[in-house]
């Protein structure tokens, strides 16, 4: 799966449009508090030194996966990087995300749509999506890190799932489980639009 989501906007608004969270200043503060150099954090988080420098200077807005890596390297909750002022606030026990605010990605052929159902806290570890795809559409993905697995359950329509050189047909109610550390794809081979649930599990 392509993980090209950007960090969730903070409540701060500018001109009626939600601005991305100011991660840079908080990242710099947490890094300096530990007396870590950019190179040291780069090695711990697996994020390039140049990217870290751009984030701290406010010249780049990190993706969800990058923020997740940084939070884990620093040993802080994800929210402490995204909304440091709200870390101590009591969180509701039930959080409802309105349908209109569910992040969405389009497939490269513009025939499919992925709704990102998983929270940003699990990005890079455990992700799940709802896939809607028109007839003839396909979701083609490059290999993920070694050990990654995907699970695709068909809710409607008929699909073909491929992993490496192996392909199989999957129909309503069936689930395909396959390695995602090789080139893989999900294609709608039916005559009508179809849908399914996609779960991506990355290695620990």
The whole-number pLDDT of residue 173 equals 97
Q: How many CB atoms lie within 10 A of CB 28?
A: 16
Give the pLDDT of residue 30: 87
pLDDT in tens, 6-28: 444 444 444 444 455 678 888 88
| HEC string for the chain | CCCCCECCCCCCEECCEECCCCHHHHHHHHHHHCCCCHHHHHHHHCCCHHHHHHHHCCCCCCEHHHHHHHHHHHCCCHHHHHCHHHCCCCCCCCCCCCHHHCCEEECCCCCEEEEECCCHHHCCCEEEEEEEECCCCEEEECCCCCCCEEEEEEEECEEEEEECCEEEEEECCCEEEEECCCCEEEEECCCCCEEEEEEEECCC
pLDDT at 52: 92
Structure tokens at 94: 């039930």
d(CA 122, CA 116): 11
Domains assigned to the chain: 16-86 (1.10.260.40), 99-201 (2.60.120.10)
Q: Compute how many other C-beta atoms are within 10 angstroms of the C-beta atom of residue 178.
A: 17
- pLDDT at site 164: 96
For each of the chain's 204 residues, which pLDDT tens digit applies?
A: 544 444 444 444 444 444 556 788 888 888 888 888 999 899 888 999 999 999 888 888 888 788 888 888 888 887 777 766 554 444 556 777 788 888 899 999 999 999 999 887 777 788 999 999 999 999 999 999 999 999 999 999 999 999 999 999 999 999 999 999 999 999 999 999 999 999 999 987
Closest CA to 186 of 163, 155, 156: 163
* pLDDT score for 20: 55
């Amino acid at each position: 799966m392509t993980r090209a989501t950007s960090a969730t906007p903070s409540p701060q608004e500018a001109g009626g449009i939600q601005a991305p969270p100011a991660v840079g200043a908080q990242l710099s503060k947490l890094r300096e508090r530990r007396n870590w150099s950019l190179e040291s954090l780069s090695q711990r988080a697996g994020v390039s030194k140049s990217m870290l420098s751009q984030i701290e200077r406010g010249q780049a807005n990190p993706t969800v996966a990058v923020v997740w890596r940084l939070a884990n390297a620093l040993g802080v909750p994800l929210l402490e990087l995204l909304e440091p002022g709200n870390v101590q606030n009591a969180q509701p026990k039930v959080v409802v995300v309105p349908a209109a605010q569910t992040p969405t990605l389009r497939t490269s052929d513009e025939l499919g749509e992925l709704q990102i159902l998983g929270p940003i806290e699990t990005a890079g570890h455990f992700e799940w999506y709802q896939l809607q795809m028109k007839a003839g559409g396909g979701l083609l993905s490059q290999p993920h890190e070694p050990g990654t697995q995907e699970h695709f359950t068909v809710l409607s329509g008929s699909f073909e799932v491929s992993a490496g050189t192996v392909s199989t047909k999957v129909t309503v109610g069936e689930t395909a489980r396959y390695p995602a550390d090789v080139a893989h794809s999900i294609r709608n081979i039916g005559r009508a639009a179809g849908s399914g649930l996609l779960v991506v599990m990355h290695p620990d």
